[in-house]
Amino acid sequence: MSIIEAKNITKIFGTGHTAVKAIDDVSLRVERGDIILVMGPSGSGKTTLISMLGTLMRPTGGTIWINGEDISEMPAAKLANLRLHQLGFMFQSFDLLSALTAQQNAAIPLMTVGLPKKQALKKAKELLEKLRLGDRLDNLPKNLSGGEKQRVAVARALANEPAVILADEPTANLDSKTGHEVMELLCNTACSEGRAVIIVSHDARLRDVAKRVIIIEDGRLVKEEMGNHAANCPMEHGRQKT
Contacts 24+ apart (CB under 8 A), 72-81: 79/55
In the β-sheet with 61-66, what is the strand arrangement from edge to edge?
20-30, 4-13, 61-66, 69-70
Cβ proximity of 197 and 3 under 8 Å: no
> To the nearest 10°, the Cα dihedral for 85, 31, 182, 210?
-160
pTM of the model: 0.88
Q: How far apart are CA 33 and CA 195, in angstroms?
A: 5
pLDDT digits (tens, 9 = 90+) for 57-110: 999 999 999 998 999 889 999 999 999 889 999 887 788 999 999 999 999 999
Rg (CA), the chain: 18
Residue ranges of domains in the chain, CATH in brackets: 4-241 (3.40.50.300)
Cα(161)–Cα(164) distance, rounded to whole angstroms? 9
- The pLDDT confidence band at residue 242, using thresholds 50, 70 and 90, is very low
Q: How far apart are CA 41 and CA 130, in angstroms?
A: 35
Helix axes 176-193, 234-241, angle to 10 degrees: 50
Task: Express each pLDDT in 107-141 by its tens digit.
Answer: 999 999 999 999 999 999 999 998 889 999 999 99
Distance CA 193, CA 187 (A): 10
Dump pLDDT digits (tens) for 195-228: 899 999 988 889 999 999 999 999 999 999 999 9
**Geometric angle at alpha carbon 55, from 53 and 61, rounded to 5°:** 70
Residue 20: pLDDT over 60: yes
Rounded Cα gap, residues 93 and 71, in angstroms: 27
Compute the CA torsion angle 155, 160, 166, 169 (nearest 10 deg). -20
Given a contact cutoff of 8 angstroms between Cβ atoms, the answer to whether 19 and 65 are in contact is no
Which is nearest to 43 in space by CA: 16, 64, 21, 26?
21
